[in-house]
């Protein structure tokens, strides 16, 4: 039976950012899916007795559910600094949000992205998209984008839209990308920018206005809420005229008897056909509220201290090699990828799970172009010929402890 990590703490509702877990199991795989926060569990428990249809019923329960859903939209939009006229559209996750945006692009849009992106931010974009190589430092990313956009503008009609698609923090290395600078460059060239905030949002405040990004995509399950709810937030104009992402009930204002005689509604509902995921939306909003009330600088400082402990520990293990794109001191969130020389990464992950009850991820992390490049780079940097073809990733966040990090380091040391 899952319990909170520390059962000796004060009652659940007073500690909304405690995370649920199973005693004895060490979860160092937050970047895949973070554990559920108490705030999310409480919000779901409170709403469950009221469970009734959203936007489709006249009863008191249904009205309360509709209100809760729309309040969740408002809370999440406020948390991410949405502009008054932005749409906040509920999706299943970041992948869904970016696919929605890809389907809403005006004809002839060119998307510019970097090869360091997660597949969710590489694969949805239309043919003719530009994929820039992974730069070796953040300033290089800004320079490369500026020259690619200048080139693009020289070669194409200025009327054709351009969308820059970048991550806030890499799911492989945790390295933070210079989003505000990239946004400035994009806008200077008349382009828009979408931020894949899947990995940044759990670790740092993300604000559309401050970063000046046009769209933002995020997943609830990486932000301490349960699976199945995410959002796309951003400029209304393209979204209000695009074909509905999910055609069906709720997305229309009128359907006539003839085939295709339909008037699609505008606003978020245009893309949210079908009965929505109320509990997911409410849980995500509850986490946003709890994070909004928290001292995020203090949380980030704790995480950075643990991250430093993990990276210093890894650096001290001669047979373990960290993967990175930028220099060793570049800003990053609580994610570290590495390889153990002479060891197959899947075997290491399995041993960590079975012998030490530590959960990490192994593989290429749905970012094959980046992971493969980093593995090649690591072999070159260390001169080692015994590095495996896939990697391991440890990732931390709320609820992670120094003892957990030390257990991982000790287990890795044992493999020497």
What positions carry a catalytic annotation? 366
Quick one: tokens of 288?
Answer: 């946003």
Burial of 43-71, coded b for 16+ CB within 10 Å and e otherwise, reads: bbeebeeeebebbeeeeeebeebbebbee
Which range, of 99-107, 194-202, 340-348, 384-392, touches ligand PMP by CB under 6 A? Answer: 194-202
The residues that bridge with 323 in the sheet, in sequence order, are 337
Pick 87 or 118: Cβ nearer ligand PMP? 118
Which x/- pattern over 157-186 shows residues binding ligand PMP (rule: CB under 6 A)?
Answer: ----------x---x---------------
The one among 199, 289, 345, 400 contacting ligand PMP by CB under 6 A: 199
Closer residue to ligand PMP (CB): 66 or 337: 337
Q: Which residues pair with 415 in a beta bridge?
A: none
Give the pairing of strands 215-219 and 110-114.
unpaired
Least distance from C-beta 61 to ligand PMP, angstroms?
Answer: 30
Q: Which stretch binds ligand PMP (CB under 6 A): 46-54, 68-76, 88-96, 284-292?
A: 88-96
Q: Tell me which H or E stretch contains 163.
A: strand 162-167
Cα–Cα distance, 330 to 325 (Å, whole number): 9
Minimum CB distance to ligand PMP, residue 93 (Å): 3
219 touches ligand PMP by CB under 6 A: yes
**Those residues with Cβ within 8 angstroms of residue 214's Cβ, 6 or more apart along the chain or in another chain:** 192, 193, 194, 234, 235
Relative orientation angle of helices 296-315 and 402-414, to the nearest 10 degrees: 20
- The DSSP secondary-structure symbol of 72 reads H
Instruction: Considering the complex, state which of residue 189 and residue 203 has its C-beta at the smaller distance from ligand PMP.
Output: 203
Looking at beta carbons only, is 94 or 277 nearer to ligand PMP?
Answer: 94
Distance in Å, CB of 196 to ligand PMP, minimum: 5
Q: For residues 198 and 206, which CB has a smaller minimum distance to ligand PMP in the complex? A: 198
Name the CA dihedral angle for 100, 101, 106, 109, rounded to a multiple of 10 degrees: -130
Does residue 113 interact with ligand PMP by CB under 6 A?
no
Rounded Cα–Cα distance for residues 332 and 172 (Å) = 11
Of 249 and 359, the one with the shorter C-beta distance to ligand PMP is: 359
Instruction: Single out the segment in contact with ligand PMP by CB under 6 A; choices: 55-63, 196-204, 316-324, 397-405.
Output: 196-204
- Asked if residue 94 binds ligand PMP (CB under 6 A), the reply is yes
Is residue 395 a contact point for ligand PMP (CB under 6 A)?
A: no
3-state secondary structure 76-135: HHHHCCCCCCCEEEEECCHHHHHHHHHHHCCCCCEEEEECCCCHHHCCCCCCCCEEECCC
List interacting residues with ligand PMP (CB under 6 A).
93-95, 118, 120-121, 167, 171, 196, 198-199, 219, 221, 366
């Amino acid at each position: 039976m899952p319990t909170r990590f520390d059962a000796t703490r004060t009652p659940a509702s007073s500690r909304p950012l405690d995370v649920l877990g199973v005693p004895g199991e060490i979860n160092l795989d937050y970047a895949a899916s973070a554990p559920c926060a108490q705030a999310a569990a409480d919000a779901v428990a409170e709403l469950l007795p009221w469970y009734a249809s959203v936007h489709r019923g006249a009863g008191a329960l249904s009205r309360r559910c509709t209100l809760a859903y729309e309040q969740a939209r408002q809370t999440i939009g406020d948390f991410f600094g949405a502009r008054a006229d932005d749409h906040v559209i509920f999706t299943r996750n970041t992948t869904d949000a970016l696919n929605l945006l890809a389907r809403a692009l005006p004809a002839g849009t060119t998307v510019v992205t970097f090869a360091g992106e997660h597949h969710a931010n590489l694969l949805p974009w239309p043919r003719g998209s530009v994929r820039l190589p992974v730069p070796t430092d953040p300033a290089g990313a800004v320079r490369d984008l500026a020259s690619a956009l200048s080139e693009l503008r020289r070669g194409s009609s200025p009327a054709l839209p351009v969308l820059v698609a970048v991550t806030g923090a890499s799911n492989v290395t945790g390295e933070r990308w210079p989003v505000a600078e990239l946004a400035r460059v994009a806008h200077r060239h008349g382009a828009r920018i979408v931020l894949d905030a899947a990995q940044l949002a759990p670790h740092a405040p993300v604000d559309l206005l401050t970063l000046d990004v046009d769209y933002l995509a995020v997943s609830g399950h990486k932000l301490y809420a349960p699976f199945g709810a995410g959002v796309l937030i951003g400029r209304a104009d393209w979204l209000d005229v695009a074909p509905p992402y999910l055609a069906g009930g709720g997305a229309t204002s009128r359907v006539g008897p003839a085939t295709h005689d339909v008037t699609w509604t505008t606003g978020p509902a245009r893309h949210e056909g079908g009965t929505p995921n109320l509990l997911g939306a409410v849980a995500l909003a509850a986490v946003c509220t709890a994070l909004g009330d928290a001292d995020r600088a203090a949380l980030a400082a704790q995480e950075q201290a643990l991250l430093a402990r993990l990276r210093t520990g890894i650096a001290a293990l001669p047979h373990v090699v960290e993967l990175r794109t930028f220099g060793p001191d570049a800003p990053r969130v609580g994610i570290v990828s590495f390889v153990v020389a002479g060891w197959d990464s899947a075997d290491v992950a399995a041993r960590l799970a079975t012998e030490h009850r530590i959960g990490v991820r192994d593989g290429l992390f749905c970012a094959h172009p980046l992971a493969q490049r980093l593995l090649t780079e690591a072999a070159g940097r260390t001169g080692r010929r015994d590095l495996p073809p896939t990697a391991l990733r440890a990732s931390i966040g709320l609820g992670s402890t120094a003892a957990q990090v030390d257990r991982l380091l000790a287990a890795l040391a044992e493999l020497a």
